A and B are shown apart, each in its own frame.
Chain A
Amino acid sequence: MSDRVLMKGNEALAEAAVQAGCRHFFGYPITPQNELPEYMSRRLPEVGGVYLQAESEVAAINMLMGAGATGERIMTSSSSPGISLMSEGISYIAGAEVPCVLINMVRGGPGLGGILPGQADYLQATKGGGHGDYHLLVLAPSTLQEGLDLTMLAFDLAEKYRNPVMVLADGFMGQMMEAVEFRKPEPMDLPDKREWAIGYMKERGGRSLVESVHLDPDELDEHNEKLQAKYRRMRDEEIRVETYRLDDAELVVAAFGTTARIARSSVDTLREQGVKVGLVRPITVYPFPYETFETLPESVKAILTVEMNCGQMIEDVKLGVGHDIPVSFFGHSGGHPPQVEEITEKLTELARERGCA
């Protein structure tokens, strides 16, 4: 018998978190992710946990900082403007090395923008957002099933690295319904929280101090070098990327999340017409799979990045491929996903320009 159930994205991700051991959720309403905290407010008390609606995203992320400092599994979710407000807290959390999971159901911006799905928070998620030299580990699922799997994985990764992990989804994923299956990730060797977390003074025989202030410049350097070493370790161990029909490709589409799912259909359509197109889909957008782009097959003549924004990932793709292969961009911003036909048309044009077979 299959354990597949039909669920709405926001609720499925919430359930994935519960099944991954998350017992505490702090959040503030914003569309298009409201079903997620709503689900948590029903579900967490059933498993002995706490749902708390904060007075703002600023408060929610700081509650997360405190809750995470106990070493327990905790989470918040929000969407673009809310994540901006959380940036202060995210920087402190990263600086203090507190594990936590953040779900960003991205909508279109800037400003209040729109409430429809978007991918315009790519740069904010991967290059900072808050102040200082820090990185989140950022996972970008492209199907609901992958959204569940990565949400569960996010809790392990957060503990493994003592770092905030963001699931960078979009409003489509929050609002769509799909058949999904809850399956636990492979068990990981995780550090013992009692070594650093608040609440174990008696057992440890000494107190815990969770902080990010380093007034002494040498101490600050040392702390930042420690963080950078952690980010290097993430680059060595955590890069996840999907490549599709790449072996003999002359054209490559680079896309992440829901957009990649749409672009994949264009790849299939064009392959049927004999055009050699492949797809690279970063699953971790931080750390970014530069190497996949550095080592594309010799056959590749051009790359098209497709995004639901005005061209944010294109810089990373260009960084990966260097100057040898031209990279162009196609996209729409929030609420208006690139259509299969549009992507197909763009790729057909490119194929003509580049003289592909």
Chain B
Amino acid sequence: MAETRIFERPRALYDVATHYCPGCMHGTVHRIIAEVIDELGIQERTFGVAPVGCSVFVYNYIDTDMCEAAHGRAPAVATGIKRVRPDMIGFTYQGDGDLASIGTAEIIHAANRGERISVIFINNAIYGMTGGQMAPTTLLDQKTTTSPRGRDPKAHGYPMRMCEMLATLAAPGYIARVTVAEPKYITKAKQAIKKAFQVQIDDRGFSMVEVLSTCPTNWGMRPVDAKKWLIENMIPYYPLGEFKQPEE
């Protein structure tokens, strides 16, 4: 009987085990990106910019041209590549420490220039790689290694909503927030990431998809509890949805 394959590893994804902790969602997002690259047929003309953070080795998993960036500078590095090679499709992959803290200027200005790149922004409300310090996205009262009594707005300010901020700018074409915490969300996340790439392919400006994600290790939770915590605590503060659409 002839075999029909209905599910397989995307071509743009290397056949290797990832280094992420159990229950971490970086791997899921990698897979989505690889599927989107395959479906759009752009593998050979795509470049990715790898971040500083747990996903520093994203290039070990996604098979496209890749360039590393210093902490937070991925939008600038991607700008450089894209300005020289406007025929290529570029994405950055950035954590919340990377994008919303050290690299705030770079992301705002790349968005404001309408740089033709797609930013995948992983918001896990904490610094993963360095061991669980407070991020700009850490929720109020959330305990981290550098906010041991919980995030206090008087001392630390409020969690930053990057999508909402960037959506006030004129140049971005597409800005959305999704999560991959459950299968029903994953479908939407993939649609958003695909749209972000499509907006770039259609030359309609900067695009960013924020993905609410877990860090069970540094949240000190079992993966299942982490997922629950995300849904119950992060989604109310970081509403899912599309904040900016390309103009018709």
Q: List residues of chain A with CB under 8 Å of any chain B CB.
A: 23-24, 26, 50, 52, 54-56, 58-60, 62-70, 72, 74, 88-89, 92, 96, 198-199, 201-202, 207-213
A66/B45 in contact, CB under 8 A: no
The answer, among B63, B70, B85, B106, for a CB contact under 8 Å with A199, is B85
B66/A26 in contact, CB under 8 A: no
A208/B65 in contact, CB under 8 A: yes
What are 28 pairs between A and B in contact, CB < 8 Å? A55-B105, A55-B109, A58-B106, A59-B79, A59-B105, A62-B70, A62-B73, A62-B106, A66-B77, A66-B81, A70-B84, A74-B80, A74-B84, A88-B70, A92-B68, A96-B68, A198-B67, A199-B65, A199-B81, A201-B64, A207-B63, A207-B65, A207-B66, A210-B66, A210-B67, A211-B66, A212-B68, A213-B56
Identify 5 new A-B residue pairs, CB closer than 8 A, beyond the known A23-B84, A66-B80, A213-B56.
Answer: A63-B77, A65-B76, A96-B67, A198-B66, A198-B85
**B62-104 vs A: 1/0 string, CB under 8 Å?**
0111111110010011111111110010000000000000000
A52/B79 in contact, CB under 8 A: yes
Count A-B pairs with CB separation below 8 Å. 121
Size category of the binding interface on chain B = 20 to 34
The answer, among A24, A56, A60, A213, for a CB contact under 8 Å with B84, is A24
B50 at the interface (CB under 8 A from A): yes
B69/A62 in contact, CB under 8 A: yes
B44 at the interface (CB under 8 A from A): yes
Question: With A and B bound together, what is the CA distance between A58 and B79 in angstroms?
Answer: 13
| Residue of A whose beta carbon sits closest to that of B49 | A66
Known: A96-B68, A202-B44, A210-B67. A64 touches B85 (CB 8 A): no
B47, B49, B56 interface centre (most CB from chain A within 10 Å): B47
A58/B105 in contact, CB under 8 A: yes
B82 to chain A: which residues have CB within 8 Å? 66
A67/B106 in contact, CB under 8 A: no
Known: A52-B83, A62-B77, A63-B80. A210 touches B105 (CB 8 A): no
**B34-49 vs A: 1/0 string, CB under 8 Å?**
0000000001110101
Question: With A and B bound together, what is the CA distance between A5 and B78 in angstroms?
Answer: 38
A58 to chain B: which residues have CB within 8 Å? 73, 76, 105-106
Known: A69-B81, A207-B63, A208-B65. A199 touches B73 (CB 8 A): no
B59 at the interface (CB under 8 A from A): yes
A55/B106 in contact, CB under 8 A: yes
Question: With A and B bound together, what is the CA distance between A23 and B86 in angstroms?
Answer: 14
- Which parts of B146-196 form the interface with A (CB within 8 Å)? none
